[in-house]
Amino acid sequence: MIVTTTNDLTGYRIVQHLGMVRGVTVRSRSVIGNIGGAVQSIFGGNITIYTKLAETARQEAYDLLVRHAQEVGANAILAVRYDANEIMEGITEVLAYGTAVRVEAL
């Protein structure tokens, strides 16, 4: 699967547009994670507990995006973007989305 943030793919020709695909996950911080994050924030710098949570959520959304594209028969996803919204305090939705296409090498 070719995944790119660009709207076209150099060296390939789009032969079929299959529509928008997405992967979404909703994550919450645990009480223990919040305590660990609070302790890390006292010392400043990268709060690794939250960094790991954010990266895990993005990776899960990405994996779901790719799976959705495969289900519709795509071999590439163009114009990929991420979005995140806090649904309520401590609960965040992470969305990965893009355009599923079939491409052929030139």
CA–CA distances in Å: residue 90 to residues 36, 52, 85: 14, 15, 11
Share of the chain above pLDDT 90, in %: 66
Backbone angles phi, psi at 37, to 5 degrees: -65, -40
**What fold, for 2-26+54-105?**
Translation Initiation Factor IF3 (3.30.110)
Average pLDDT for 90-102: 94
Q: Which of 40-44, 46-50, 75-79, 94-98 is the least confident region?
A: 40-44
Q: pLDDT confidence of 41, banded at 50, 70, 90? A: low
DSSP state of 58: H
pLDDT at 87: 85
pLDDT at 69: 98
Per domain, the residue ranges of the chain are: 2-26+54-105
b/e burial code for range 9-48 (CB count within 10 A of at least 16 → b): beebeeeeebeebbbbbebebeeeeeebbeebeeeeeebe
pTM (2 d.p.): 0.83
Res 45 pLDDT > 80: no
